[in-house]
Amino acid sequence: MTPIDSATNPHKASAGISLADSADPRRVLADRVEQIYSQMPIGIAGSFVISVVAAIELRQGRFVEIVIFWAGLVVLLTAATLGLYWSYRRSTTKASEAAQWLRWLAISALATGATWGFAAAVFFPSHADEQQVFLAFLLAGVVAGGVPMYAVSWPVYALYAAGIIFPFTYVLATFGNKLFAEIALLIPAFYALNVAIAYRLNQVFDSGYRLRHAYGKLTEDYTALNQRVEQQLDELLQAQREVEASGRKLALFAERSPIAVLQMDHNATILELNPAAENLFGYAAVELVGRNAIRTLFSSANPVLGGAAWQSFIETAKPLSLPPAGCVRRDGIEVSCEFTLTPLVNEDGDLLSVIAQVRDVTQVLEADRLKKEFTSTLSHELRTPLTSIIGSLQLVNSGVMGEMDKDIVELTEVAERNAQRLLDLINDILDIEKIESGKFVLFPEDIELDTLVRESLLLNRSFADRFKVRLEASGGLPGLEVKADRKRLLQVLTNLLSNAAKFSNEGGAVEVFMSVTDAMVRVDIADRGTGIPENFRDRIFGRFAQADSALTRQKGGTGLGLAICKRLIEAMNGRIGFEDREGGGTLFYFEMPVAKAFAQADK
Ligand code: ADP
Query: What residues line ligand 1, using a CB cutoff of 6 Å?
Result: 495, 499-500, 503, 527, 529-530, 532, 540, 545-548, 552, 557-563, 586
Contact 294, 268 (CB under 8 A): yes
Q: Which atom of ligand 1 is nearest to the CA of 428?
A: 2
Q: Quick one: average pLDDT of 322-345? A: 91
Please list the residues that pair with 354 across neighbouring strands. 264, 343
Alpha helices in 151-281 (DSSP H): 154-173, 178-256, 275-281
Q: Quick one: average pLDDT of 578-599? A: 85
Nearest protein Cα to ligand 1, atom 4: 557
Q: What per-residue confidence (pLDDT) applies to 8? A: 40
For strands 481-485 and 470-474, give the pairing. unpaired
565 pLDDT above the threshold of 80:
yes
Question: Which class for 594: exposed (0-12), middle (13-18), buried (19 or more C-beta within 10 A)?
Answer: buried
Q: Quick one: average pLDDT of 67-90? A: 92
Ligand 1 center to 559 CA (angstroms): 7
Q: Which of 212-221, 224-233, 450-459, 467-476 has the lowest mean pLDDT?
A: 212-221
Residue of 23 and 568 predicted with greater confidence = 568
Q: Quick one: average pLDDT of 418-446? A: 86
Reported as a pLDDT band with limits 50, 70 and 90, residue 309 is confident
Q: What per-residue confidence (pLDDT) applies to 12? A: 40
Q: Which of 19-28, 116-125, 527-536 has the lowest mean pLDDT?
A: 19-28
368 pLDDT above the threshold of 90:
no
Q: Which atom of ligand 1 is nearest to the CA of 530?
A: 25
Q: Quick one: average pLDDT of 306-326? A: 87
Ligand 1 center to 435 CA (angstroms): 20
User: Terminal CA-to-CA distance of the chain, rounded, Å?
Assistant: 106
Residue of 233 and 378 predicted with greater confidence = 233
Which residues are within 8 A (CB) of 595 and not within 5 positions of it... i.e. 6 or more apart? 446, 447, 481, 482, 483
Q: What per-residue confidence (pLDDT) applies to 492? A: 96
Q: Which atom of ligand 1 is nearest to the CA of 548?
A: 16
Pocket test for ligand 1, best of 426, 503, 528 (most atoms within 8 A of CB): 503
Distance from C-alpha of 142 to C-alpha of 138, rounded to nearest angstrom: 6
Q: Quick one: average pLDDT of 589-598? A: 79
Q: Which atom of ligand 1 is nearest to the CA of 500?
A: 23
Contact 264, 354 (CB under 8 A): yes
27 pLDDT above the threshold of 90:
no
| % pLDDT > 70, the chain | 92
Ligand 1 center to 486 CA (angstroms): 23
pLDDT in tens, 375-426: 777 777 888 889 999 999 999 888 888 888 888 888 998 899 889 888 888 8
Q: Which atom of ligand 1 is nearest to the CA of 549?
A: 14
348 pLDDT above the threshold of 90:
no
- Give phi and psi for 357, each to the nearest 5: -105, 130
Q: What per-residue confidence (pLDDT) applies to 302? A: 55
Nearest protein Cα to ligand 1, atom 20: 499
Q: Which of 75-84, 219-228, 350-359, 472-481 has the lowest mean pLDDT?
A: 472-481
Winning range, highest mean pLDDT, from 166-180, 342-356, 427-441, 567-581:
567-581
pLDDT in tens, 169-218: 998 888 888 888 888 888 889 899 989 988 988 888 888 888 887 888 88
Mean of per-residue pLDDT scores for the chain: 86
Q: What per-residue confidence (pLDDT) applies to 518? A: 78
Taking alpha carbons only, the member of 402, 407, 514, 383 closest to residue 456 is 514
Ligand 1 center to 552 CA (angstroms): 8
20 pLDDT above the threshold of 90:
no
Ligand 1 center to 519 CA (angstroms): 29
Q: Which atom of ligand 1 is nearest to the CA of 527?
A: 23
Q: How many CB atoms lie within 10 A of CB 549?
A: 11
Q: What per-residue confidence (pLDDT) applies to 308? A: 81
- CA distance readout (Å), 38 to 33, 43, 50, 151: 8, 10, 20, 13
Q: What per-residue confidence (pLDDT) applies to 14? A: 42
Pocket test for ligand 1, best of 499, 504, 587, 588 (most atoms within 8 A of CB): 499
pLDDT in tens, 2-15: 333 433 444 444 44
Q: What per-residue confidence (pLDDT) applies to 598? A: 46
Q: Which atom of ligand 1 is nearest to the CA of 557?
A: 2
Q: Quick one: average pLDDT of 257-282? A: 92
Pocket test for ligand 1, best of 495, 527, 540, 567 (most atoms within 8 A of CB): 540
Q: What per-residue confidence (pLDDT) applies to 552? A: 66
Residue of 377 and 36 predicted with greater confidence = 36
Q: Which atom of ligand 1 is nearest to the CA of 531?
A: 25
Reported as a pLDDT band with limits 50, 70 and 90, residue 65 is confident
Ligand 1 center to 577 CA (angstroms): 13
Apex 521 CA angle, 520 and 526, nearest 5:
135
pTM: 0.48
Q: What per-residue confidence (pLDDT) applies to 433? A: 83
Nearest protein Cα to ligand 1, atom 8: 559
Longest dimension (CA), the chain: 180
Ligand 1 center to 531 CA (angstroms): 10
